[in-house]
């Protein structure tokens, strides 16, 4: 169960101030969440195989097929910033 001290510690970690009234409210809400987890623990899951996704998905990407690239002139056609057959970019450093 979540105590008032636990809520204070969570507030300290989050760097937020929590009033006494809020501490009581958060304590109640967090304990309610833990009660739900307790209910889930009661469900019989011994015969259920683990899943990584609820829908059986397969890779939906297309095959990676090598294709011819665009010609260099066409790639550089829409820029004024080019130098020696490449994009000219600002110097870093």
pLDDT in tens, 19-28: 999 999 999 9
In order of their start, the domains of the chain are 1-85 (1.10.20.60)
**Residues for the chain: how many in total?**
93
pLDDT at 58 over 90: no
Neighbours of 7 (CB within 10 A): 20
The pLDDT assigned to 29 comes to 96
Is the pTM value of this prediction over 0.85? no
User: What is the rounded average pLDDT of the residues 33-57?
Assistant: 86
- Rounded to 5 degrees, φ, ψ at 61 are -80, 155
Higher per-residue confidence, 58 vs 6: 6
User: What is the rounded average pLDDT of the residues 76-86?
Assistant: 93
Distance CA 15, CA 18 (A): 10
The pLDDT assigned to 50 comes to 83
The pLDDT assigned to 3 comes to 95
The pLDDT assigned to 57 comes to 73
In percent, how much of the chain has pLDDT > 90? 70
Dihedral angle of Cα 30, 34, 36, 42, to the nearest 10 degrees: -170
């Amino acid at each position: 169960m979540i105590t008032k001290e636990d809520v204070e510690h969570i507030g300290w970690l989050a760097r937020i101030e929590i009033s006494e009234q809020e501490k009581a409210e958060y304590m109640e809400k967090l304990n309610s969440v833990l009660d739900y987890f307790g209910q889930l623990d009661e469900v019989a899951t011994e015969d259920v195989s683990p899943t990584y996704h609820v829908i059986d998905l397969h890779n939906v990407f297309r095959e990676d097929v090598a294709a011819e690239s665009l010609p260099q002139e066409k790639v550089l056609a829409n820029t004024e910033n080019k130098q020696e057959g490449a994009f000219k970019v600002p110097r870093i450093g």
